[in-house]
Structure 1
Amino acid sequence: MSIEFDAVILGGGPAGSTVATLLAQAGKRVVVLEKEHFPRYHIGESLLPATVSIFERLGVHDAIRKTSVLKPGGKWLYGSHEVPGDFTRYDDQASFQRTPYSYLVDREVFDKILLDRSAECGADVRYGHEVVDLIQETGRVTGVVAVDDVGNRAEYRGRLVIDATGLGAVIGRRLKLRQPTVNQRMGIYAQYRAEPIHRDAIDGWFVGQMFYDGWTWLINLPDDTISVGVVLPVERFRKISSSPEELLDRMVRENDLLKNGMTPNPMRMSEVRVTGNMGNSSKQLAGEGWVMVGDAGFFIDPCYSSGVHVAMESATLVADLILQQPDGVVIPATAFRQYESKLRNHEKYVTRMVEAFYMASRNTTLQKVIVTMQDSFLKSMRRKFVTFVGGDFSKNSAYITRVFLYSKFISWLFPNNTTLPENRPDYLVDPVVPFVPPANIEDREIRKAA
C-alpha cells in the first residue's frame, strides 16, 4: 500500500509536531510517523524564552503554561560562586523581550500537548510506526517504508520527507551523513520524588553545578518531581568502576548541589537512563527530497538547554519554506540553502560557547574571571550572554567569538590552575569549593538537607 502526502514527517517530538502543525494549519496533507506511543519519557525539560513565541503561533501556550513550572532563568554554581542568567536582563538584540521567561516541563506531558495539537489541526498522526527504509528514485528520496506494531508494512510518499527523529537520525544514518563532534560527552539521568530546597530551584530556575569537565543539574518539575542528571566525558565514565545507576545514586548522595538542593532520601521514580555520545552532527541538513530538523541535524550538548528550541525553530523555518513553494511542485534541495546556513551558524556559535563552558569547568582562573565579570561594570557583556542563553544563538556573534578566544587564552596562560583535585580519582563527585546553601533558606531546611 502506498499513500501520498505533501510532507512525510519522521518522528513526533517537538520538531516533528511543530512542522506538522504549521503545515496542517495551512491545509497541507501531512503524516507523522512516530515509533513510540505517547505519553513517553524524554529528557530536555528546561526550555528557553525564545521558544515562547513559537508556542503562541502553534496555539499551545496556554496548555503549556498550565502544566509547567515558570522558569525565570538559569543559574550555574562555580563552586560556591553563582553565575545567574536572569532572562529579564537581555540586550536590545533579544527576540524574547515581550516574553522574558520560559518553562520547566514534564516531557511526557509537553510532547503530547504538541502532537495532539498537530492531530487537532489535521495532521495524520500514526503512533507505533517505525521507519525501516527510505524510498529513493533517481537520486531523490520520495518516501519511506514503515512497519506498525503488528508488523504491517506500508509506503508513505510525499513531496518532502522531513527527518525529525532526533539522535536516531534515520536519514542521516541511512545516507551515512552522521559524524561525531569534538564534544563527546554522555548524560546519565532520572526523575526523583522530592521537593526542592535550593532557593532558586524552588523559584523555578534551572540550577546546574560544574565539576571538572562535567556538570550536574537539578530541575524542579510539576507534581513534586525533580529531574537530576550528570554530564561527563564518555572516556571518563569508562574509567569509573560503577554502573550508571550506581553513579547517579552516588551523585545524589554526595554531590553538593544534589545532596543539599532537595529534600533528603529522594525516591527514584524512573529508571536511570543514559544518552551516550550526545555530540553529533550531519554533513548536510537537506538533499533532494529530504530535510532534517532538530537533533536529527545536530546536537551539541545540553548545558545551555538548546535542544528543544533548536528543534522547534528549525521546524518553523522548514515549514515556512515549504509554504512559500507553489502547490504541487517538487521542492529542490537548493530551496534549503538559507535554512542550512542559518542552522550551521547556530551550530557554530553554540559549539563555541559550549567549549568555553567546559574550559571554565577545568580552570579556576577562568572561573574567577567569569564570576568577577558578573559583579563588574561590564553589564553589556552580561546582557549579551543572557540573550544567548535565552535562545538567540546566532546574535552577538562577535561577543561569542570573543568569549571563546578569551577562554582559550586564559586556559593557555594558566594551564596549572586546574579544578582537578590532586590524587582524587573520584573527583567526579566533589566540586573544588563546597556548595554553600543560600543565606535566606530557613535553618530547619538546611538541617534537613545536611
Structure 2
Amino acid sequence: MTYIPELKSDYDFIIVGARCAGAATAMLLAKGGARVLAIDRQGYGSDTLSTHALMRPAVLQLKRWGLLDRIIAAGAPVVTSTTFHYGPEKVEVPIRAEPGLPGLVAPRRTLLDRMLVDAARSAGATIVHDVVVQDLVSDSSGRIRQVVLKDVGGHSRTVSAGWVVGADGVGSLVARQAGAQTLVRGRTSAAHIYSYAEMPRMEGYHWYYDLGMGAAFIPTDGGLACVGVSVPTARYDAEIRLDIAGNRMKILRSLDPGLAEHVATNDRTPLRAFRGTPGHLRQAFGAGWVLVGDAGFFRDPITSHGISDALRDAEGAADAFLAGNEAALRRFQQERNELVLPILEATDAIATFDGTLDELPGRHRRFSEAMKPETAVLAARERCTRSAGDQTPLAQTA
C-alpha cells in the first residue's frame, strides 16, 4: 500500500480517477516509460454503477492488452449472441467470433477495474486509492502544474505533474477547474434502475423494448446477471421514483413476465438507480490537462458503450502523449470527435423512447453503423508496448 507521504514530489502524469479510463491510461503511459501516478477516491476493487456489457471495440482492446483471457478465466461468461425484444417480436443476432476473440464479455467493475489497476502497477505506474483531490494549482501562465491531495489518514500533499489527466467521471473536477468547454450537449436522458439476480437459464445479452420503457439482461461474473430497467428521466421523476421497487417490477412484468418472476425471487443485491443526465462532448485537452472517459465524453448508458469509450480514449490520449508533441493531442481530439458524434446522436435517438416499435430496429442499426468506424480505428492501432527509448513522452518535453 502506498500512502501520500511516500509519493514522489513530481510525476510526468498525474491521473485523477483510477477506474477503467484512468487505470488504462496509466497502464499505457507506464508501458511507454513515463512516470505515472493515478489516484482514486474509492477503495481498490470497489464497485460502481455500470451496465457491464462490453461491445466489440472494448473487447478488441482488452484482447490486445492481454487481459481478455484473464477476465474470462476469472468467471466472466463469454457472450455469443444478443437478442432484441421489440414487444412480442424477437430478433437474435449472433456475435461473430474471431481468432482469440470468442465473443463479448460483461465483467463486473470489481473485476475489470481491478485487473486494469493491477496491469498498470505491473507496468510501473503508482496507483493510490482512498485519496481525494482537493485542488489543482496553475502556474503564472495558467498551465496546471500541481495537484493537492488528501488521504483518509488526514495527510495532505502537493505533487507536481507535467500533465494532469481527468478520468474522474461526468462531474469531473479536472474539467471544472480547467474550464473545459462543452463542445456538444446531448438532447435527452433516460433513468436506469439496476440490480443483480442469480443467473437464470438464459444466454447472451437480452434487450427489451416497448413504448416508453426498456430493460436489459446482462450475464456477468459470480453467477449473476445484471438486470436493468430504463425509462425517460421525465417519467422517472414524475412516477417511478415514488416507488422504485414496485414500478420496476411492473415494467419487468410488462416486458417479460418470466424474467420478472425470476428476478422477484432471485434478486441478490439492493436496487441502485441513476436518474440520467444528457450526454456531453467536452474539449479534450488544454494547458497541462487532458480528459478521458466520461469526463471527456458521456452518452446515455442505454447503448452500453461507456467502457468502450473509456478504453478507446485512454489509448488515444496515451498514444498522443507518447508521440511527444501537442499536434498529436490535436489529432487525438479530432479523431475522438469524429468517432463519437455519430455514437452520441444514435444513442440519443434510442434514449428518447419516443419512437414506435417499428422504428426501433432502424435506430439500433444506426447505432451499429456508428460503431464501425471506431472498430476500424481500434483494429488499426499499434499495440502500446513502446519502451522509454522509443519515444519521448510529451510531459518530458513540455
- 1:87 alignment partner, one of 95, 101, 111: 95
Could you state the TM-score of these two structures normalised by the residue count of structure 2?
Answer: 0.82
* Pair 1:241–1:88, CA change in 2 (3 A): closer
Question: What secondary structure does 2:57 align onto?
Answer: helix
Deviations 1:104-133 (A, max 9, x none): 212111111111111122110100011121
Aligned length: 366
- 1:157 alignment partner, one of 150, 157, 160: 160
Higher Cα Rg: structure 1 or 2? Answer: 1
Number of the residue aligned with 1:366: 359
Deviations 1:48-82 (A, max 9, x none): 22223322333322211212111224222110112
- 2:79 alignment partner, one of 61, 71, 76: 71
Q: CA deviation at 1:195?
A: 2.7
Q: CA deviation at 1:335?
A: 3.8
Number of the residue aligned with 1:182: 187
Which segment drifts farther, 236-245 or 213-222? 236-245
Question: What secondary structure does 2:152 align onto?
Answer: coil
Q: Is 1:8 the counterpart of 2:1 in the alignment?
A: no
Identical aligned residues as a percent = 21
* Pair 1:225–1:88, CA change in 2 (3 A): same
Q: For residues 264 and 193 of structure 2, what CA distance do their matches in structure 1 show?
A: 19
* Pair 1:263–1:178, CA change in 2 (3 A): farther
Number of the residue aligned with 1:410: none
* Pair 1:155–1:301, CA change in 2 (3 A): same
Q: CA deviation at 1:20?
A: 0.8
Give 1:80's aligned amino acid. Answer: P
Give 2:104's aligned amino acid. Answer: S
Q: For residues 81 and 112 of structure 1, what CA distance do their matches in structure 2 show?
A: 39
Give 1:254's aligned amino acid. Answer: R
Number of the residue aligned with 1:24: 30
Give 2:236's aligned amino acid. Answer: F
* Pair 1:236–1:208, CA change in 2 (3 A): same
Q: For residues 272 and 181 of structure 2, what CA distance do their matches in structure 1 show?
A: 23
Q: For residues 59 and 323 of structure 1, what CA distance do their matches in structure 2 show?
A: 20
Q: CA deviation at 1:244?
A: 6.1
CA RMSD in angstroms, aligned pairs only: 2.9
Number of the residue aligned with 2:347: 354
Number of the residue aligned with 2:169: 166
Number of the residue aligned with 2:331: 338
Q: For residues 19 and 241 of structure 1, what CA distance do their matches in structure 2 show?
A: 38
Q: How does 1:161-310 map to 2 (within 5 A)?
A: 161-177=164-180, 180-192=185-197, 194-197=198-201, 202-203=202-203, 205-240=204-239, 242-243=241-242, 245-247=244-246, 249-251=248-250, 254-257=253-256, 259-260=258-259, 263=262, 265-310=264-309
Number of the residue aligned with 2:105: 103
Could you state the TM-score of these two structures normalised by the residue count of structure 1?
Answer: 0.73
Deviations 1:204-244 (A, max 9, x none): x2111113344211112233312111222221111106446
Q: For residues 99 and 283 of structure 2, what CA distance do their matches in structure 1 show?
A: 33
Q: Is 1:35 the counterpart of 2:37 in the alignment?
A: no
Give 2:43's aligned amino acid. Answer: H
Tell me if the contact between 1:49 and 1:99 (Cα under 8 Å) persists in the aligned partners. Answer: no
Tell me if the contact between 2:195 and 2:226 (Cα under 8 Å) persists in the aligned partners. Answer: yes
Question: What secondary structure does 2:314 align onto?
Answer: helix
Give 1:305's aligned amino acid. Answer: S
Tell me if the contact between 2:14 and 2:163 (Cα under 8 Å) persists in the aligned partners. Answer: yes
* Pair 1:85–1:348, CA change in 2 (3 A): farther
Q: CA deviation at 1:352?
A: 2.4
* Pair 1:189–1:28, CA change in 2 (3 A): same
Give 1:139's aligned amino acid. Answer: G
Q: CA deviation at 1:19?
A: 1.1
Q: For residues 85 and 288 of structure 1, what CA distance do their matches in structure 2 show?
A: 45
Tell me if the contact between 2:24 and 2:311 (Cα under 8 Å) persists in the aligned partners. Answer: yes
Q: CA deviation at 1:178?
A: 6.8
Q: For residues 224 and 100 of structure 1, what CA distance do their matches in structure 2 show?
A: 19
- Structure 2: segments with no counterpart, 5+ residues: 378-398
Number of the residue aligned with 1:405: none
Deviations 1:339-394 (A, max 9, x none): 11121123210122223435676224425x749xx9xxxxxxx7x875655x6448
- Structure 1: segments with no counterpart, 5+ residues: 90-95, 326-330, 375-381, 397-450
Q: For residues 179 and 209 of structure 2, what CA distance do their matches in structure 1 show?
A: 35
Tell me if the contact between 2:18 and 2:39 (Cα under 8 Å) persists in the aligned partners. Answer: yes
Tell me if the contact between 1:251 and 1:258 (Cα under 8 Å) persists in the aligned partners. Answer: no
Number of the residue aligned with 1:51: 58
Q: For residues 392 and 100 of structure 1, what CA distance do their matches in structure 2 show?
A: 21
- 4+ aligned runs moved over 6 Å, structure 1: none
Number of the residue aligned with 1:434: none
